[in-house]
Structure 1
């Protein structure tokens, strides 16, 4: 567990004030602007992400990613972000981690990036990172529209108020990290917190504001940091919508935000203003939407309504991040095992599986977004699922819906190859 004593040192930013305060008077001096950005009071697009993106994505949804990756391969300065949003397939981190390993191995490794705060996402065990949580924290997520917000990109909110309660992150990567990202929802009754890490002062950072607002804070830490904690002061509630770590420098980030049981509709439960700000500050080269498995269980599935909803959400993402490419992951095959033989196929496909996939494909074509055919690339047919279950190593879990670690890694391998081909980069190592 990270200790406060011995970690408190000088401020990482000269003149940095306490975290989220009331809106200050506008100023134009560079030092003051830097301090305000560090507090999340003056969020602006990160020039390192913008530098590698084309002015417009054009008609090719993978062009922004291809442009960014080719620039990195040629030695350009900047960062490229691949952002995945989805259901339990994305909430389980192994698919995204494998894709990250592929891309960072060739184009530059700069850490894991942003994630749900603390242990808000139950069962979230990212590789190489230990997450600990002490005290009385409450958790909410954007799965159901009836759950009060706000929610941002992560879809989770972690709230605490008791002095000394903390969340802690430790990284095993010997390269460590040197930046911390925090997304906080602030309001008139908000309290204060401390950041405990090398290279930054453990002074209280207030979050109280005259009216509800959100702060996107980026703090520079000592190079090679391996541990960081956020500790509550106890003078009011602190609401964390997300946090993350990375390293300064050139390379690729792959960030993934999933909620177990999610459908496409859960995107509407995120605050549009917060989501737009998070996308604007770190514009992705590619946004990947992975939904459809839970919709496939709906016996009354309305393909026309689903198609309209999917088109509307693509339009919303385009408006929020106009220089980003967008891609859909077509729903993979899934079904229920038949315990007593009923013909040649021992599986009953989810009732709306084919209709969901067909709607996704139609929308991808009409909206000019990318499409990764998960069925063609990995599962191939519902009747083949038991073979994947009994493969060596097994690729499916017994529920014939979710994949094993090896199944998700195989999916990431095929997705990586699909992205490189679409981006005009050929196979890895070419």
Structure 2
């Protein structure tokens, strides 16, 4: 099982052609070392983008709320310039930027899997597609950590169960529950 793409998809700018070449090299290396091994390429799950709370909300909740409005505006402007350089404060954030990249990675993995006689499995689809990182973070219990990259224990368990089901392992476990000695000589 080869699962990578989350960290690679974080590179700015993300280079899909370079990712494809790296993946092909990794699969070929694995097959050279383990020529009879089965191969599954696992595409990354959804990933969210942390958006900073409004500076106004932040200031409202601090001791600075006691200062004069003009002082707060000056400080807010200074902090914004420090954090963001001279970028506009109303700059939009694409909360699906990693979902889009992970869909591209998934597509490349499926193509490489087909050309190298591997299987492919999409963690992104198992989670529910684009935007699922936000849903998984807000579920009770949460299935995704607050960084919206990593999963909680419950999230990893759900993904493992889905993977096992998708590749047919659940049928084996169910058969063992019904008849534990079925495969014994």
**TM-score bracket relative to the smaller structure:** 0.5 to 0.7
- After superposition, the Cα gap between the structure-2 partners of 1:329 and 1:313, relative to the gap in structure 1 and judged at 3 Å, is same
Q: Give the match for residue 337 of structure 1.
A: 50
Answer 1 or 2: which has greater strand percent.
1
- After superposition, the Cα gap between the structure-2 partners of 1:387 and 1:346, relative to the gap in structure 1 and judged at 3 Å, is farther
**Secondary structure in 2 aligned to 1:429?**
helix
CA RMSD of aligned residues (A): 2.6
**Secondary structure in 2 aligned to 1:309?**
helix
CA distance in 2, matches of 1:337, 1:368: 37
CA distance in 2, matches of 1:398, 1:365: 35
Does structure 1 residue 385 correspond to structure 2 residue 133?
yes
CA distance in 2, matches of 1:373, 1:289: 12
Q: How does 1:8-407 map to 2 (within 5 A)?
A: 288-339=1-52, 347-350=95-98, 352-381=101-130, 383-407=131-155
**How far apart are 1:402 and its partner, in Å?**
0.6
C-alpha distance after superposition, 1:176-207 (max 9, x if no partner) = xxxxxxxxxxxxxxxxxxxxxxxxxxxxxxxx
How many pairs does the alignment contain? 137
CA distance in 1, matches of 2:11, 2:160: 27
> In the alignment, is the contact (CA less than 8 A) between 1:417 and 1:427 conserved in 2?
no
Q: Name which of 394, 412, 419 aligns with 2:160.
A: 412
Unaligned runs of 5+ in 1: 1-287
Answer 1 or 2: which has greater helix percent.
2
**Secondary structure in 2 aligned to 1:336?**
coil
Q: Give the match for residue 428 of structure 1.
A: 173
Q: Give the match for residue 60 of structure 2.
A: none
CA distance in 2, matches of 1:347, 1:306: 22
TM-score normalised by the chain length of structure 1? 0.29
Unaligned runs of 5+ in 2: 55-89, 176-185
Q: Which runs of 4+ in 1 moved over 4 A?
A: 339-342
TM-score normalised by the chain length of structure 2? 0.64
**Secondary structure in 2 aligned to 1:332?**
coil
